[in-house]
Structure 1
Amino acid sequence: MLKYGSSNESVADFYAGKSVFVTGGTGYLGKVLIEKLLYSCEKLDKIYLLIREKKNVSPEKRLQHIFEQPIFKRLKCKGADYMQKVVPIVGDISEPNLAVTEEDEKELREKVSIVFHMAATVKFNEPLKVAMNINFEGTRRVLNLCKKMKQLQTFVYVSTAYTNTNREIIEEVIYPPPASYEEVYTALQQYGDNDKDIRKLLCDRPNTYTFTKALAEHYVAEQQNKIPTVIIRPSIVAPSINEPLEGWVDNWFGATSLMVMIGKGHYRVVAGASSNLIDLIPVDYVSNVSIAAAAKCEGYDGLLVYNCCTSGANPVTYGAVCRCFIEESVRFKLNDIPYPTINFTKHQWLLKTIIFIMQMIPAFFADCFLWLSGKRPRYVKLQRKVLRMNNTQQYFTSRSWVMDSKETQALYASLSDLDKNMFPFNPVSIVWSEYLPVYYKGVKTYLF
């Protein structure tokens, strides 16, 4: 375990007068990280944000739209002209050299001290060729740019805790990659995106997302002797626990869509056991550990890995989360189907039987009623979506992992009381009976 120094410099002081470069800043975690840097590190010089140019929408307009979202409300209340600190850099991680202009690259080379690389495709079943270009090659392109930065102090790569799902206990170390990237490209040339052959290549990884993130993580580790590096491995990123708004969420990824369908009564059986652990981590905790890790690794010449997870220190089960969503859904009268309930099974035949009897047949009769009432049928179509969701998430619900987070907790323990209050991320502090209703309320407020 790393022995952290006794430097009196606060996290905010570390960022004073410095500029950061952020990829993936328009995503869920990225927006929270940018807001937190602007709010809590007031003396920060600039945030250079890699942003794609979209048809008929300029990067400046996209940035303005982002700042109109509710999470930036407290910054507006401060009255500071925070938008002037965020500089859009037109580019794309899927393009050679990030598609950044020479002028912009020169400014990044001269001024950037910290890089947060969060951009990725999070689609589980993206074609391998596409996932490799974004998750692996995109990371390589960012690192190539980092090597040219004259003032670079830290490179922070946001990976995922599920890069090593072939292990039941996942520690804060770099494990051997599932394959070499040379092997991957050879296979792609030989097989294309033939699903059957690609499945063999994934080496126990459930999808192209976790596979390519594992390859990228190993590549980052190989390059760390040239660049001060931190790898952050969040588990299932969930709504904020405190900041910038309690329960803030802006997407249906992770566990959210599954739990909402359970609460509404459309999803009545899950592959796995109710005692299986579901590793949820609030988005503001991921943002805070990323910011703090970049500040506190200064002077350390090795690779640091932080599992931003809860299962090893403060576990919660699928059964507990499902029960909470059902109770909250009924309490707010947001369940579409009367008496929502959930069953767990490890047997595929029973899973399919329950889906047919308790989901498909009721959906068919509900659609018949709608049709006879002159309304458009919708429940069978919804069940098809639920089945696709079941196929995508079954691998994760049917297994249980323990994500060790000793280094993450040691990093938190090394902070001053002021920094602990300003950048909380200790997983032990989460009280699940209090946080899960916040999770549901956030979904209700920001997504429904």
Structure 2
Amino acid sequence: MCIDKKQSLSVVDFYANKTILITGSTGSIGQLLLEKLLRECSNVKRIYLIIRSKKSLSSQQRLKKMFSTSLLFEHHSLDKVYAIDGDLCQDNLGISDENYQKLCQEVQIVFHSAACVKFNGILGTFIEQNVKGTNRLMSLCEKMLKIESIVHVSTAFSNCLQKCVEEKIYSPPFDLSEWPDVDLFLKMLEKNFAHLAVKNEHPILNGHPNPYTFTKAITEWLVDQKYGHLPVIICRPSIVASTYREPLRGWMDKFFGYSGMYSLISTGIARSVIINLECKAEIIPADYVVNSLLICAAYRASTMFDYSKKVVHQTSCPENSITWQQMNDETFVYENKIPTTKLIRPVKKKFSNKYQTNWDKLCYVWTKLFNHYPFALFIDFICLITGNRPFLMRLTRIMHSTSEELVFFSTKNWCFQYKNNMEIYHLIDERERALFNCDYNTIDWPDFCYQTLIGGRRYLLKEPDSNIEQAKRRRKLLHLSYEFIYFCRNLFIIWIINTFIGEKILPLSSSSSAIIIENILLLFNKINLFVLNTCVFVY
């Protein structure tokens, strides 16, 4: 459908009677995208989802399970949703000939959000899923007879080596004079490096912090150079957090990234996280990202489309941004009001580690080895002897992995151009702007922090709001117990020093002994003793 320039852009009308294909529909963004289409664009004709069969479940069974178990789809039916068994890593996407032809004949809009989003692993996996998988999907799009719009979901950090990232396609992370053909470069990568778990110091990444951003940068170049004749628009969200306003406030579905990390902090598990509190928090609510994707698809198909806007950033704006310090302060304000009954030990408020100097790194490793891991082992041991399933060692490994993977992004500042998103947003019908809000100036960050914290409580920790008062009482008792154990420990240290050091080994004056005792106590107060933590848990 073409939309006249004199008219405003109606997103709802655009999707009416349209057939849509979504990849990555089992991920957070994919689920929210599907839910939003079913809720606000109910006149859509059909939605196809490419879903890989997994274990003993077929693609259709996985779809039904998602609808039956996810709170997002509690009020939605499968009437217009169809799962197609496929795999981005296989030729022709692993789709049967019959379904392949069906997609070619029917699909008008494509949302490609599937990707390997981990930050470490075998390079070949990232190449296969992120680059070659996108290439296979674009090849399918070329054969679609009715194609109107293709939204390729990339990342704002695909060009993270730039301090100021513009909304444009950058040169790929390899020498074009040596490798003018991207397919030849990929063959070289697969031949020589596909089996390696490359990290940021590996020269093949050309300065990129991980294989994820490296392959995303290559994919953008591939899409632009090889498939620029297709109606493609590239969207680059920054760090996607929980939802803010819809469909469920604070919704998240896994311990991943920023939202999951703050859930671990709020339980007292995390005592040290790599983050520079002075840096801007490049996070964006998931529902704002989804709204922008839907608007971008409609814009790309319209006569209003301008090729200077073929790349759109979904990032925060300077007029309404927030630092990690501000986010940290807001979070701890609400931590006192909505604690969790799963609180294992009092929350440590000074948990940040810039991870820049050798001392920073030493302190982080110290906390890992002598605080996080021993405590996790002890708790899991208690679980085993009480007949419960151990859980904390696994969570601790995830926590460390996430913190270390995000170090490049949580300790630096970027300047992301964001004008395209706002200009496109203001093209849509004023009556629909509230339905598809992606104006980042409307984010109330203190409220968002509250929604993230209570969302983590509801959807990750599985706690009802009805037990908040119980959690407050438990938190108060836990803190009193913690202070009592500190007091007893300090008395014991004073007794040890006076008995074995002050009288026998160091017969000093009372003033000198007092100074030694005071310094030793100060040193002990800076070290979170394993015995202390385990005693609190037993309590």
Aligned pairs (5 A) from 1:284-295: 284-295=287-298
| 2:123 equivalent in structure 1 | 128
The change in CA–CA distance for 1:252 and 1:433 in structure 2 (over 3 A counts) is same
DSSP 3-state at the match of 1:185: helix
Q: Who is 1:306 aligned against?
A: 312
1:351 to 360, 368, 393: 360
Alpha-carbon distance change, 167 to 339 in structure 1, aligned in 2, over 3 angstroms = same
The whole-number CA distance in structure 1 between the counterparts of 2:380 and 2:285 is 42
The alignment status of 1:332 with 2:332, answered yes or no, reads no
Partner in structure 1 of residue 195 of structure 2:
193
- The equivalences for 1:108-147 within 5 A come to 108-147=103-142
Amino acid across the alignment from 2:151: V
1:72 matches 2:73: yes
Match of 2:445 among 413, 416, 432: 432
CA distance in 1, matches of 2:395, 2:233: 42
Match of 1:164 in 2: 159
Separation (CA, whole Å) in 2 of partners of 1:316 and 1:266: 25
Cα distance in 2, alignment partners of residues 368 and 56 from structure 1: 33
- 1:25 and 1:50 in contact (8 A); partners too: yes
Task: Report the CA distance shift for 1:268/1:154 in structure 2 as closer, same or farther (over 3 A).
Answer: same
Corresponding residue to 1:275 among 278, 295, 302:
278
Q: What does the per-residue CA deviation read over 1:334-392, in whole Å, with 9 as the maximum and x for residues that have no partner?
A: 34332512234353322234335555434577579769989769877765554333321
Q: For 2:364, give the aligned amino acid.
A: I
Residue 55 of structure 1: aligned partner: 55
Identity of aligned residues (%): 30
Structure 1 range deviating more: 126-135 or 371-380: 371-380
In the superposition, relative to structure 1, how do residues 195 and 64 fare at CA in structure 2: closer, same or farther (>3 Å)? closer
Measured in 1, the distance between the counterparts of 2:394 and 2:115 equals 30
Distance 1:224 1:96, change over 3 A: closer
* Cα gap change, 1:406 to 1:313, in 2 (>3 Å): farther
Decide which moves more: 17-26 or 349-358.
349-358
Q: Aligned with 1:414: secondary structure?
A: coil
User: Mean alpha-carbon deviation: is it higher for 53-62 or for 351-360?
Assistant: 351-360
CA apart distance, 1:313 = 4.4
Task: State the one-letter code of the partner of 1:306.
Answer: V
What value does the CA root-mean-square deviation take over the aligned residues?
A: 2.6
Determine if contact 1:326/1:340 at 8 Å carries over to the other structure.
Answer: no
Task: Look up the equivalent residue of 1:340 and give its one-letter code.
Answer: K
How do 1:74-89 residues align onto structure 2 when only pairs under 5 Å count?
75-76=75-76, 82-89=77-84
Using the size of structure 2 for normalisation, the TM-score is 0.75
In the superposition, relative to structure 1, how do residues 364 and 55 fare at CA in structure 2: closer, same or farther (>3 Å)? closer
User: 1:44 is matched by which residue type in structure 2?
Assistant: V
1:311 shift after superposition: 4.6
> What stretches of structure 2 of length at least 5 have no aligned partner?
462-539
2:232 maps to which of 229, 234, 246: 229
Helix, strand or coil for the counterpart of 1:88?
strand
SS at match of 1:218: helix
Aligned to 1:259: 262
Aligned length: 439
Unaligned runs of 5+ in 1: 77-81
Quote the residue 1:445 is aligned against. 458
1:166-209 CA-partner distances (Å, limit 9, x unpaired) = 01111211111112643343143234534569821111111111
CA gap 1:428/1:60 in 2 versus in 1, 3 angstroms: same
- Highest CA radius of gyration, 1 or 2? 2
Task: Please tell me the residue identity of whatever aligns with 2:257.
Answer: G
